[in-house]
Amino acid sequence: RVADILEASSNPREAVVLSACRGVTDALLGLVTLAEQPDGYIASAIEQMKRRHEELAAELLSRSAYEAYRALLNKDCRDIAGVLQTVRLIRAATDSMRDVISGYGEIWSTRLFASFLRERGRIPGEVLWIDARQVVVVEWGPLGPAVQWSASERNLRQLVSKDFQGRLIVTGFVATTTTGIQTTLGRNGSDFSGSIFGALLDASEIIIWTDVDGVLSADPRLVPNAQVIDQLSYNEAMELAYFGAKVIHPQTMEPAVARDIPIYIRNTFAPQKHGTLICAHPVSALKVKGITTIDPVALVNLEGAGMIGVPGTAHRLFGALRDAGISVILISQGSSEHSICFAIPQAQAVRAEEAVRCAFDAELRDGQIQHVEVGLGLSILAVVGDGMAGAHGIAAKVFNSLGNAAISVRAIAQGASERNISLVVDGKFAAKALRAVHAAFYLSPNTLSIGLIGPGTVGRVLLAQIASQVERLRALNLDLRVRGIAGSARMLLEEGAIDLELWPQRLADAGEALDLDKFVAHCQADYIPHTVIIDCTASAEVAGNYRDWLARGIHVVTPNKKANSGPLPAYHALKEAARAAGTHYLYEA
Ligand code: ASP
Ligand code: MG
């Protein structure tokens, strides 16, 4: 698949940085841990890994290339066994031993791929294997590995001439220290390797091939409607990366940002898709790009009349947190200066409270500061987008959607860059808040989740009518999604929307036993702004649920006369439920 992707490109020069085969780095590190124990069969664990690579090579390479690959692999495994023997003797591995061993996965994957690509022979020019340990020089500091650019560039020039034509196949993850000792770029460092080589080679673009379609507007596990963001600025990508959109690490972006090289995030398993472009000046109509949550967080609130107009309170507060080694995620202070609050990872709440109480011990005793409160179990919701700067109505939309979802906001922060609105909500409501805000920006407010009960004479015709109008209505900003169809014994539920041409077949093939509660719960997906249940039965039992549905915020549409022809108090109760919940009850077909 990777070779296909490469062969489809018409660039005369490309470099490909590969990580290890899946799970190999973990397995290699596992070997080191195993060797630190007195027992444990190192030999058989090495053998297993060797066999896996041999099998891959046997499948992909010709006999002679396979033999050559195997000879090198065998030698590496003997070397690994030697290092592990030392580890076993002293019962503790050093960091550099760990680095040496964990880097073999990339050596093996790239050697295999380079051989494979060469043998396929479908790309003009040379296929050159590059061992990144001979190129990338880094110095490990408290902020991670710092690339020594000029030394690395010199090294690369010695291996690759300026007019090289063809493909470079480069090991990800591994590097060398300034003292010439083998090291790595940290776990999942191959993306970083990619971007380092992009910078060293002065590439016109960097593509990160991953297993998702791109950077998503929200976590798809929480928001099934999350969409691939077409374009992002470097800053937006940094903001989203920070807030847990794990697709690209800020460290990976850095070499590209410094040289203004665009980065694409694309899916190896769906190369026809465009993916996400991350660059300096994206053209995109979207003001809000992504919405994410971070949790669990704690909110610490320092409150007291004694702080008003007194300079230096914030300095002392955050100084105390710095001394305690606590990094603050969000800060907010109202202009009255009566209180100041900040959010931190929940795991650090106890230490933070201690640090703050200790710093303001005297003021707390004298009553100049009344209290230090800590709220636990909270989430931060962040709304990110460069386009919010100078635009109006964005914050209004955010808070409106939260208000409509009955979620209360505990604290708010927006920097002057206007690139990020962050707010703190109760952790219990984090997913709901995320969906509500996502729906406000990514879905039309007029998106309807529809469940139809009783696809008989009337129901069938209605479904056909919806099918014939759905496109036209979408152009008018009304998005009808029939997500559930329930017959008398079976029902069909679909996450996106049921194909209204094929539903009878789908109901027969993919339907399940009718469960009305499950049906209604599915139709009322809380990431879609509105839910409508259409009852096309003549059943009194189904009609008996209207009141409950209306009270739960579900609109009811029906030609069924049962609810309107029973006892008057029941009818009044039903109308009252609709009025209280603000839902529609529409009958007479
Ligand atoms: N193989 C390395 C790791 O698993 C680097 C990578 O996968 O990006 O951490
Ligand atoms: Mg990996």
From 24, 28, 25, select the one nearest 84 (Cα to Cα).
28
The pLDDT > 90 percentage for the chain reads 77
Average pLDDT in the 12-35 region? 96
Picking from 7-16, 66-75, 162-171, 408-417, which range would have the lowest pLDDT averaged per residue?
A: 408-417
**pLDDT for the residue 35:** 95
Contact present, 356 and 372 (Cβ < 8 Å): yes
User: Residue 533 and residue 583: Cα distance in Å, rounded?
Assistant: 11
Q: Label residue 243 by pLDDT band (50, 70, 90).
A: low
Of the ligands numbered here, which is closest to the C-alpha atom of 172? 1
HSE-CB at 219 with a 13 A cutoff on CA atoms is: 17
- Whether residue 296 has a cis bond before it, omega within 30° of 0: yes
Which atom of ligand 1 is the closest one to the Cα of 187? 9
User: What end-to-end distance do the CA atoms of the chain give, in Å?
Assistant: 54
Rg value, the chain, Cα: 30
Report angle CA 206, 192, 175 to the nearest 5 degrees: 125
SS3 for 152? Answer: helix
**pLDDT for the residue 242:** 63
**pLDDT for the residue 562:** 94
Contact present, 187 and 199 (Cβ < 8 Å): no
Strand order across the 371-384 sheet: 330-333, 339-345, 290-303, 371-384, 420-426, 409-414
Tell me the whole-structure pTM to 2 decimals. 0.79
- Per residue in 80-134, pLDDT (tens digit) is 999 999 999 999 999 999 999 999 999 999 999 999 999 999 999 999 999 999 9
DSSP characters over 81-117? HHHHHHHHHHT---HHHHHHHHTHHHHHHHHHHHHHH
Q: What six digits make up the tokens of 437?
A: 């805000």
The conformation of residue 216, written as its DSSP 8-state character, comes to: B
**Per-residue pLDDT at 244 exceeds 70:** no
Name the pairing type of β-strands 447-453 and 530-535. parallel
From 242, 350, 344, select the one nearest 297 (Cα to Cα).
344
The conformation of residue 519, written as its DSSP 8-state character, comes to: H
The conformation of residue 125, written as its DSSP 8-state character, comes to: S
Contact present, 556 and 549 (Cβ < 8 Å): yes
Of the ligands numbered here, which is closest to the C-alpha atom of 208? 1
Element (H, E) at 166: strand 166-171
Q: Label residue 274 by pLDDT band (50, 70, 90).
A: very high
**Per-residue pLDDT at 424 exceeds 80:** yes
**What's the gap in Å between 252 CA and the centre of ligand 1?**
13
Amino acid type, 579: R
The answer to whether the CB of 313 is under 6 A from ligand 1 is no
Alpha-helical (H) ranges within 405-450 are 430-442
Report angle CA 326, 327, 330 to the nearest 5 degrees: 130
Q: What six digits make up the tokens of 184?
A: 């790595």
Q: Label residue 250 by pLDDT band (50, 70, 90).
A: confident
**What's the gap in Å between 376 CA and the centre of ligand 2?**
34
- Measured by CA distance, the residue closest to atom 6 of ligand 1 is 188
Backbone angles phi, psi at 258, to 5 degrees: -60, -30
**What's the gap in Å between 103 CA and the centre of ligand 1?**
9
Contact present, 50 and 31 (Cβ < 8 Å): no
**What's the gap in Å between 189 CA and the centre of ligand 1?**
6
Burial 53-83 (b: 16+ CB within 10 A, else e): beebbeebbeeebbeebbeebeebbeebeeb
Q: Label residue 423 by pLDDT band (50, 70, 90).
A: very high
The pLDDT > 70 percentage for the chain reads 99
**Residue 321 CA from chain centroid, whole number:** 29
Of the ligands numbered here, which is closest to the C-alpha atom of 193? 1
- Per residue in 352-371, pLDDT (tens digit) is 999 999 999 999 999 989 88
Longest dimension (CA), the chain: 91
Strand boundaries in 4-159, DSSP class E: 13-18, 126-130, 137-141, 144-147
User: Residue 123 and residue 428: Cα distance in Å, rounded?
Assistant: 54
- Per residue in 26-62, pLDDT (tens digit) is 999 999 999 999 887 899 999 999 999 999 999 999 9
**pLDDT for the residue 300:** 95
User: Residue 194 and residue 124: Cα distance in Å, rounded?
Assistant: 22
Name the pairing type of β-strands 276-279 and 263-267. antiparallel
Top pLDDT among 339 and 134 is at 134
Average pLDDT in the 179-200 region? 96
**What's the gap in Å between 20 CA and the centre of ligand 2?**
7
**pLDDT for the residue 246:** 67
Which atom of ligand 1 is the closest one to the Cα of 26? 4
The answer to whether the CB of 109 is under 6 A from ligand 1 is no
- Per residue in 286-304, pLDDT (tens digit) is 889 999 898 899 999 999 8
The answer to whether the CB of 234 is under 6 A from ligand 1 is no
**What's the gap in Å between 402 CA and the centre of ligand 2?**
37
Report angle CA 109, 111, 116 to the nearest 5 degrees: 95
Report angle CA 429, 433, 437 to the nearest 5 degrees: 180
**pLDDT for the residue 474:** 85
CB proximity list for 118: less than 8 A, separation 6 or greater: 65, 127
User: Residue 579 and residue 195: Cα distance in Å, rounded?
Assistant: 58
SS3 for 494? Answer: coil
**pLDDT for the residue 309:** 83
**Per-residue pLDDT at 435 exceeds 60:** yes
The conformation of residue 162, written as its DSSP 8-state character, comes to: T
Of the ligands numbered here, which is closest to the C-alpha atom of 171? 1
Which atom of ligand 1 is the closest one to the Cα of 191? 8
Average pLDDT in the 324-345 region? 90
**What's the gap in Å between 209 CA and the centre of ligand 2?**
12
- Measured by CA distance, the residue closest to atom 7 of ligand 1 is 188
Which atom of ligand 1 is the closest one to the Cα of 185? 5
Rounded alpha-carbon distances, angstroms, from residue 505 to 466, 498, 501, 537: 18, 11, 9, 21
Ligand 1, pocket-test mutation among 25, 28, 98, 102, most atoms within 8 A of CB: 25
Q: What six digits make up the tokens of 175?
A: 């590097």
Q: Quick one: three-class SS letters along 333-345?
A: ECCCCCEEEEEEE
**Per-residue pLDDT at 417 exceeds 80:** no
Backbone angles phi, psi at 511, to 5 degrees: -70, 165
Report angle CA 396, 402, 408 to the nearest 5 degrees: 115
Element (H, E) at 276: strand 276-279
Contact present, 462 and 482 (Cβ < 8 Å): no
Output 52-61 pairs: Cβ under 8 A, ≥24 positions apart: 52/21, 52/24, 53/21, 53/108, 53/112, 56/21, 56/112, 57/112, 57/115, 60/112, 60/115, 60/116, 61/112, 61/115, 61/116, 61/119
The answer to whether the CB of 105 is under 6 A from ligand 1 is yes
Average pLDDT in the 420-428 region? 94
The answer to whether the CB of 446 is under 6 A from ligand 1 is no
Write down the mean pLDDT value for the chain. Answer: 93
Picking from 15-19, 135-139, 235-239, which range would have the lowest pLDDT averaged per residue?
A: 235-239
**pLDDT for the residue 284:** 81
Backbone angles phi, psi at 400, to 5 degrees: -60, -45
Rounded alpha-carbon distances, angstroms, from residue 545 to 74, 403, 574: 70, 27, 10
**What's the gap in Å between 533 CA and the centre of ligand 2?**
45
Report angle CA 379, 381, 384 to the nearest 5 degrees: 155
Top pLDDT among 3 and 219 is at 3
